Amino acid sequence: VQPPEKPLQAEEWNKLREDFQSPEVFEEVMLNSMIRCNSPIDVAKSLLTHVAKRDGDIAYNVLVKYLTLCVQQGQVSEIHDVYDIMKGRFRILESGAYNLLTKGFSNSNQWRMALTVLEEVKKVMIPSRTCYESCIKAASRHQEMKLGFELYNEMLAKDVVPTLDVLQSFFDFSRGVKGAELQKELFGILLYLRENQIYPHRTFMRSIKLWFESLPGGNWRGRLTKIKDGGQCPVCNHQLEDSNLTEEEYSNLSERIIRDVIHGTDTFRKTSPKEFEAFQTFVESRLPFDIVIDGLNVSHIKSRKMQCENLFDAVNYLAKDNARLLVLGRKHMLMNTSNWKPETMKKMQNKADFFFAENISEDDAFLLYATLRSGKHCRFVTRDFLRDHKACLSDSLTRHLFRKWQRGHQIALKKCFPSVFSQQPAFRYDCVVQTTGDTWHIPYKDVFEEKYSYRVPGKWLCIQQKS
Amino acid sequence: MQSANMLLRRIVRSAVLPFAAQQGMKKDLFPHSRTLSLALCLKQDKSCEPSEKLDLDEWKKVMKSGLQEEVSGAVSEAKELSSLAAARETLEMWRLAGRAVPENISEEQLKAFMECPSKSAKKKYLKYLHLKELHKKNDKRKMDEKRERRLEAQDQASKTDETKKRSFICLWSSTMDKAYNWRAAQSMIFGQPLVFDMSYEKEMSVREVANTVRQIVQSESCNRRSVDPFHIHFCNFKEDSLYHREFIKNYREAWDKLLITVTDQCYTEIFPKDKLIYLTADSPKVMKTFDHDKIYIVGSMVDKSIKTGLSLARAKRLGLETAALPLEKYLLWSSGAKNLSLDQMMHILLTLKDTADWKKALEFVPKRKYCGFVNTPVKEMKKTLDVSNTLKLGKGREEVEKRFARNYPKTYKVK
């Protein structure tokens, strides 16, 4: 329906309503289309008046729709009135209305009302992130950074995840403001990014850069750069943190992989206790390996070639530097079939150790175990992203550790021209926000959307302090 | 709420303009009502010189006038809400806002709602209750209509006053029940056993258990009605388990009279191991024929979240043979999981037992999951699959290939 351009009389509304197919929802539909067309507020008012006169009451959802329109147009006094009416009529409101109210008030000069509303919300539920977002933005816009950070910390304490927008607004509004406390809080945000492996997007990165450069007396200077494979920053020659896990992290991760991925709720789901034990003794007796290969995955690299030849090429290539290899496969590879020739298998077994799992077992779990057991230098070869195994880990911290370890230890084989293997070097440096005190290195994404969780940005912001 | 609205309406109707008198008092109550007082001025203007001008803020007055009465009632009621009452109130507000929320909610349901771990879980639960309520209402409406129709028909019948002569007394359902029970009793002595493995309770949520039991009840009823029923065994069945309670909810007194074997023993203790076959969609082995000498085991589980390999793990642990239905061999699968509901399994097994006809048996696989039966030999399968893909997508073959390439890039790096 097309909303009218001018306020209408009751009779005119009545007529419109009668012409509408389902009169019960007429007001709602009409207000929706008013919101869409951003109609003048007087038109909506005339509709409400008509409804109020007819029924002696206005339904809550209609009021919320009207409130949406008011917030959209920044009609502060109207928002106020609607708030009063709602508060008088209903003991509590629901989150939609609260979101609208905080948003409406926070964008006006009565932004403190948004805080009042927030307090009210807290009495009945955990405020939504939109509520917090509006209040924090309003506070920082009015240079009440301390208040903003209080709300931010409160939000984190309640497990409400802040949007990047909120974090960015802190940097935007702190530009040029001096204060050790403030500086500490903002560094805290950067560390929050680090801990949660969040990469800021381009505009957020720019806000961070400008804030650093605006610090009075700090002599901070930010440059955009790309980091090469070696992990050295071309701007300041600083060597980035390496991707190795600490001893503690490493043993933690191995333990969790054995517990959550291999055993899980039932060891029989991925293997069997007998088989796993056999594998363990096999691995222990031949430790340590340099490279562990997922035989079946590698054998499927080229569809035209026979599967065992694909694997043979890979083993030959990787065995060149006298690396100790372990190839994981399944028992069916030992059968003489069109894809698996016993002669080729024999030749391979001279160059590498082989372990054949049952046909219904999952070899990936063995791959992870053998690699972790061999030690930090050991890497593994597979094209699998191991997402399902990551998902088996129960907490996000371990999942981050897993990703980090995977980045540093997974070799992906690239399929190129006939019979040439090119080896992707595993990441030697850790792709995460990092600092040494007088330098900051912050990886950033070009686009807002994060498309693949395994892909890390190659672009960096290098910030150094000139003394 | 409803009654409050009624009250309001009455107030508004009866007292059209007591506002002016209350104006002074209101101002104290509502310090923000600037527009309100403005509106009152406007109103007075209007009364002086009647014109076509609209009073746009009049709705506020109406809303606030009702408030007057309510505030005095509501505030005194209870300042502090208990968490349960607060949740109830929140729900009421959600309902008013037009969300999918049930109108009536019991104390028990409210507690379950509050125990939901996340916002989305809460939303889902409410939607479920809402839909349940709608179904119930619709059913009730239909029942009432039916009853009315029946009464009408009776009226007419009594008017015409026509007596019919029958050779049998009309006792269809109970006679049928007797016949069915006779067959079921026979099956308990001579029938082929079919085992339901009731050991998955820990793996399921309460709702999943309820769904499982519902499916088993349906399976049992269709087994009873069949020409040659299975002898159903519930194995690993624990007294007072969630399963048990759900069964009693479904069967009531009939639970103790069911012609099936219920035991807390494992099937491996009752039957020889080499005769058992565990049916699971994850099995690498595909069932070729239905064997009348084997004992098939069906896992009594509904998994709404994906728990792959759970029943396979159980069979592996006990060292049992496993099998999956040859769905791929006979059907052009289109979408959906390969695991079927328990009553569908029962239909399929019964049909296989009676006819050994896979095509007939697999008619019970839901139609949405496959596009058709495979008639062609295996060699031509691939071609058919391509054709079916093209047909399904309604696009050229290149498009299909392109799609495939996009979804499964041949080269990818880990950066």
**Does residue B342 register a pLDDT over 90?**
yes
Query: Which tens digits make up the pLDDT trace of B69-102?
Result: 554 444 444 455 678 888 888 899 999 988 899 9
The stretch B288-298 carries a mean pLDDT of: 93
- In a domain, residue B59? The reply is no
Burial category of A47 from C-beta neighbours within 10 Å (exposed 0-12, middle 13-18, buried 19 and up): buried
Question: Who wins on pLDDT, B47 or A173?
Answer: A173
Provide the CB-side half-sphere exposure for B359 (13 A, CA).
4
Fold for domain A163-241+427-466? 1.25.40
Considering only CB atoms, which chain B residues are within 8 Å of A410? 414
| Distance in angstroms (rounded) separating the CA atoms of residues B226 and B238 | 28
CA A9 to chain centre: 52
CB contact under 8 A, B415 and A406: no
pLDDT of residue B132: 94
How close, in Å, is residue B173 to chain A by CA atoms?
A: 45
Residue spans per domain, chain A: 163-241+427-466, 247-423
Least trusted range by pLDDT, from A208-217, A279-288, B71-80, B163-172? B71-80
pLDDT of residue B6: 54
Q: Is A326 on the interface with B (CB under 8 A)?
A: no
Count of the separate structural domains present in chain B: 1
**Does residue B389 register a pLDDT over 60?**
no
CB contact under 8 A, B36 and A412: no
- Angle formed at CA B10 by CA B8 and CA B13, multiple of 5 degrees: 110
Query: Which tens digits make up the pLDDT trace of A293-324?
Result: 998 888 887 777 788 888 888 888 888 778 88
Q: Which of B74, B78, B137, B77 is closest to B103 using CA atoms?
A: B137
| Distance in angstroms (rounded) separating the CA atoms of residues A261 and A364 | 10
| Distance in angstroms (rounded) separating the CA atoms of residues B30 and A83 | 11
Query: Containing domain of residue B300, as a range?
Result: 191-324
Query: Which tens digits make up the pLDDT trace of B355-379?
Result: 888 989 999 999 999 888 887 555 4
Q: What is the DSSP string of B180-196?
A: HHHHHHHHHHHSPEEEE
**Could you count the other beta carbons within 10 Å of the beta carbon of residue A159?**
7
A73 pLDDT band, cuts 50/70/90, is very high
How close, in Å, is residue A45 to chain B by CA atoms?
A: 5
CB contact under 8 A, A94 and B97: yes
**Does residue A435 register a pLDDT over 60?**
yes
The dotted CATH code for A247-423 is 3.40.50.11980
Q: Which residue of B has its CA nearest to A77?
A: B35
Residue A173 near residue A207 (C-beta atoms within 8 A): no
| Among candidates A9, A270, A406 on the partner chain, residue whose Cβ is nearest the Cβ of B54 | A9
How close, in Å, is residue A42 to chain B by CA atoms?
A: 7
Question: Is the bond into B31 cis (omega within 30 degrees of 0)?
Answer: no
Query: Which tens digits make up the pLDDT trace of A186-216?
Result: 999 999 999 888 899 999 999 999 999 998 8
Q: Which region, left, alpha or beta, applies to residue A39 given φ > 0 means left and ψ of -120 to 50 means alpha?
A: beta
| Distance in angstroms (rounded) separating the CA atoms of residues A98 and A118 | 8
Q: What is the ipTM of this complex?
A: 0.78
CB contact under 8 A, B97 and A97: yes
Q: Which region, left, alpha or beta, applies to residue A46 given φ > 0 means left and ψ of -120 to 50 means alpha?
A: alpha
Question: How many contacts (CB atoms, under 8 Å) link A and B?
Answer: 145
Question: Who wins on pLDDT, A53 or B130?
Answer: B130
Q: Which of residues 84-143 of A touch B (CB under 8 A)?
A: 84-85, 88-94, 96-97, 124-125
Interacting residues of A151 by C-beta distance below 8 A, sequence separation 6+: A118, A132, A135, A136, A139
B30 pLDDT band, cuts 50/70/90, is very low
Domain containing residue B217: CATH number: 3.40.1280.30
